Chains A and B, each alone.
Chain A
Amino acid sequence: MPPYEVDGSEARSRRGLVLSSAWVLASILLMVLPVPVQQGISAALRGTLLAPFLWTQESLSRTRIRAVEIEELQARFDSTVALLATQSTLGAENAHLRALLELRERSGPAFVSASAIRPGTRGSESMFLLDVGSEDGVSVNDPVVAAEGLVGLIREVGPRNSLALDWTHPDFAVSTMTLDAETFGIVEARGGTFREEDRLILSGIPFYTTLEPGEVLVTSGQGAVYPRGIRVGTIFSLAETEAGWRRGYWVTPAVRVGSVTHVLVITGEEGRPVSELTHLWAEPEPELEPEVEPGIEPDPESGPESGLESGLESGLVAGLDAGAGGTP
């Protein structure tokens, strides 16, 4: 009787099964690798094979913004020029007073502007890529903000790009306070059934402290990650009460992360962490009504004019007069 031999196709099939099992095991190994190794692999792939696709989105984003928002940018530029024109005298006065008091010149908070790119692939929800990295002064845990308020924070940093997570990420948590600094609590992400339903929840509020809808929450500065004063959101409604000793509130986020295309990364103040940014998101002070003496008619033309507009106008007029050789 001839010896039993394994059929060639069966042996191949068995070998194929073993090798394919090895691939499956390798993929399982990927999931249990230490996070720094995973980050290294991700960064290497993003910097090589996937770089053209990221570059494409970055270029398209820039082109779109240049094409669509040019009018808005022009308006913002005009406003900035106007603001600078009105504040130039204050700046000079401040510098003079500091010199008199022998105070060191105070540097402002350091921001780096960046384009936010969303990968749009499975598993990449709640994160975005930025086109700035360690070469621009960005480091891990730097806060990311938009004009409306807090967006998230930097998670990984490469030389020229970085990876950030937004407030919808399950790891997101920030210590917040009300504007009057009376109430403190932790704001965390709470995922909805659909991504559009992602919300923030403020927890840890004492039971006998009531917050009104619309009340503004800003970062408290505790925890050394987020500077104090960045707008996080506004109270929406009561979410939960726990056994009569604690309350939680739904918070309407200040920033809708899906629509964010440009952000600022707060990189610190000459190497020091920024500690106070309340003034950047503070509500403008209500203007005082001018006191009108009885019997004097208020000038209707000068009444509704804002300080910014009048300052700009007077500055322009002064500039034109000086240019034309008129009286100073």
Chain B
Amino acid sequence: MRGGPLFWLVVILLPGIHFLLRVGFGAGPLAPDFLTLALLLAARELSTTRAAGVGFGLGLLEDAFSILAFGANAFTLTVLAVAGSRTKDLFVGESVSFFLGYLFIGSWLRYAIHWVVAGQEVRRGAGRVLLVEAPLGSLYVAVVGVLLLLATGAVVREAR
């Protein structure tokens, strides 16, 4: 991935867009989870410590609207950021298909970790969250993420 200035500008703007769409415009799940997307993209470029710090900060912002599961988003995004940053050492993929898979799995993990730590009171049925909501939401994030990467030139489509 070539993280140029445009890429970083988009990554920095994404959390703002997330809250603008979900909180400001009240779009809810109709808007993709730009917070997770920004974190997953940034984590590939940042060191583990910095990525964890970014995850903690973004999660804390999301937790500001949570009563029963305060801290669950912070924990989820911190762990996700650490995992995302560590993937640099395991996978050096630069292709569209790699990022499609990376964003899909990362986003699905976000649902899964949050479901585990959110607690009994907030938790919905596992089947419904992990097999219906999470795959759909993750696919949404992955497709939007790849389109953004292509638009910013961070990822170039492979020539056939």
CB distance from B16 to the nearest CB of A (A): 8
Contacts of A282 in B (CB 8 A): none
Question: Is B70 a contact partner of A53 (Cβ separation < 8 A)?
Answer: no
**How would you classify the secondary structure of chain A's contact residues: helix, strand, loop or mixed?**
helix
Contacts of A121 in B (CB 8 A): 19, 22-23, 62, 65-66
With A119-B65, A127-B65 given, is the CB distance from A27 to B59 under 8 Å? yes
Determine if A107 is an interface residue (Cβ-Cβ < 8 Å): no
CB distance from B28 to the nearest CB of A (A): 4
Determine if B69 is an interface residue (Cβ-Cβ < 8 Å): yes
Question: Is B70 a contact partner of A31 (Cβ separation < 8 A)?
Answer: yes
Tally of contact residues, B, Cβ under 8 A: 48
Determine if A280 is an interface residue (Cβ-Cβ < 8 Å): no
Pick the contact of B125: A15, A26, A28, A193 (CB < 8 A).
Answer: A193
With A23-B55, A30-B60 given, is the CB distance from A193 to B128 under 8 Å? yes
Question: Is B49 a contact partner of A16 (Cβ separation < 8 A)?
Answer: yes
With A31-B117, A124-B65, A125-B122 given, is the CB distance from A119 to B23 under 8 Å? yes
Pick the contact of A60: B26, B69, B79 (CB < 8 A).
Answer: B26
Within the assembled complex, what's the spacing in Å between the Cα atoms of A245 and B26? 46
CB distance from B149 to the nearest CB of A (A): 24
Give a binary string over B52-68; 1 marks a CB under 8 Å from any A CB, 0 the rest: 11011001111111111
Determine if B73 is an interface residue (Cβ-Cβ < 8 Å): yes
Contacts of B26 in A (CB 8 A): 57, 60-61, 117-118, 120
With A16-B47, A20-B48, A193-B125 given, is the CB distance from A119 to B22 under 8 Å? yes
With A24-B79, A26-B56, A123-B73 given, is the CB distance from A165 to B67 under 8 Å? yes
Question: Is A24 a contact partner of B52 (Cβ separation < 8 A)?
Answer: yes
Within the assembled complex, what's the spacing in Å between the Cα atoms of A157 and B56? 26
Question: Is B75 a contact partner of A31 (Cβ separation < 8 A)?
Answer: yes
Contacts of A256 in B (CB 8 A): none
Contacts of B128 in A (CB 8 A): 193-194
Per the 8 Å Cβ criterion, residues 103-122 of B in contact with A are 114, 117-118, 121-122
| 30 examples of A-B residue contacts, CB within 8 angstroms | A15-B49, A19-B49, A20-B82, A23-B55, A23-B78, A23-B82, A24-B52, A24-B78, A26-B74, A27-B74, A30-B60, A31-B70, A41-B70, A42-B65, A45-B61, A46-B64, A52-B24, A53-B24, A57-B24, A60-B26, A119-B65, A120-B28, A121-B19, A121-B22, A121-B65, A123-B68, A123-B69, A123-B118, A170-B121, A171-B121
Chain A positions near chain B (C-beta within 8 angstroms): 13, 15-17, 19-20, 23-24, 26-33, 38, 41-42, 45-46, 49-50, 52-54, 56-57, 60-61, 117-125, 127, 155, 163, 165, 169-171, 191, 193-195
